[in-house]
Amino acid sequence: MARLVMKFGGTSVADIERIRNVARHVKREVDAGHEVAVVVSAMAGATDRLVSWCREAAALHDAREYDAVVSSGEQVTAGLLAIVLEGMGVNARSWQGWQLPILTSNAHAAARVLDVNGAELVKRFKERHEVAVLAGFQGMHKETGRITTLGRGGSDTSAVAIAAAIAAERCDIYTDVEGVYTSDPRVVPRAQRLERVAYEEMLELASLGAKVLQVRSVELGMVHNVRIFVRSSFEKPEDIDPHGTPPGTLICGEEEIVEQQVVTGIAFSKDEAQISIRRVQDKPGVAAAIFGPLAEANINVDMIVQNVSGDGATTDVTFTVPASDYERATEALIKTKGQVGYERIDGANDVAKVSVIGIGMRSHAGVAAKAFRALAEKGINIRAITTSEIKFSLLIDANYTELAVRTLHSLYELDK
């Protein structure tokens, strides 16, 4: 008998019929003798509607009240699924984040999980054989007692955190795709589903454009060694063997992957903007003066490249930020001109980031050089390059994104 966490996203619970389908998945695992906790997102479109109401109510609204409003979507889904399960003869009850409780930081709309008390769930598994249906995405700040939310995709993080708290054998993330692919199948029709992905690779894929999982859920999985299965909720529940290996992609420790490919996947993001600060005085403290204000404004910076002039007196600093933060970042930098002493700021938001990821790169040389040659042959100019131990990222003109992704996907033989 296994203890499982099953998480269902918004498209999987979009209406009552789909909630019934989810209930059949849950009943299959219960009938197999498993102890089950279910984490649900809001019904598809519900959170967007709640967010729009907040904005309509007031352009500058209290983040605490915003969380109180937008967290209600998951509460509705949890209650409906519990009702359907009870109607199927499955003992179930719904839980909100504050009832466990899931304790978080006080950063409303982007809170981080600090602690989860799973003792009551475990007790009810044993004494009542009760399925726990939990509202994902939400928690509570202990000191204020206020409801918090974990940011978009936060139900993934809720599920992994609960799996860690109750020592679940695995955390199944049910979604509208069959697993994690070598690239986006909408861009690369020959993309292949991966059987297994290491935590580190999934962290890179999730942070560099793959939308399958929220980055923090993968971080939690790696820290607490929670095995995560990404699988489709649209497979017929009765066709799945609850005692077999689930269909989908297993995200696990590197030691569970016997044969490691050099490259695992190609990720991309068009949500990028490039900022270049020209002729900055090359002296100590300049980098802090540039990036400090951006950090204070909660703007994430990526792909930092610095070019020192021939005389060594000035330098150009180029970096990327999310396209949605481009205007705010520029405004913050304009305010620093007196302190930094740059000549001008150049920017562009018609760029894309394409990333090649694979833990096999640690032991193989020349992986990036192959990409540079292949893209040059296609006439694709590279604006910036950053590398790490298991990935490299290239900044290119957005118009060439799909061509670059398909070229690299074939280059590293991921089509096979």
**DSSP states of 218-286:** HHHHHHHT--EEEEES-S-GGGS-TTSPPSSEEEE-GGG-SS--S--EEEEEEEEEEEEEEEEE-STTH
**What six digits make up the tokens of 262?**
């050099």
Q: How far is Cα 171 from Cα 38, in angstroms, rounded to an integer?
A: 10
Pairing of strands 3-8, 35-40: parallel
In tens, the pLDDT along 135-166 reads 999 999 999 999 999 988 899 999 999 999 99
Q: Torsion over CA of 336, 337, 338 and 341, rounded to 10 degrees?
A: 120
* Residue 198, number of CB atoms within 10 A of its CB: 22
- Decide which of 201 and 240 is more confident: 201
Query: What is the per-residue pLDDT for 311?
Result: 64
In tens, the pLDDT along 352-401 reads 999 999 998 888 888 999 999 999 999 999 999 988 889 999 999 999 99
The DSSP secondary-structure symbol of 130 reads: P
Domains and CATH numbers, the chain: 3-254 (3.40.1160.10), 265-411 (3.30.2130.10)
Q: How far is Cα 333 from Cα 187, in angstroms, rounded to an integer?
A: 35
pTM, full prediction = 0.85
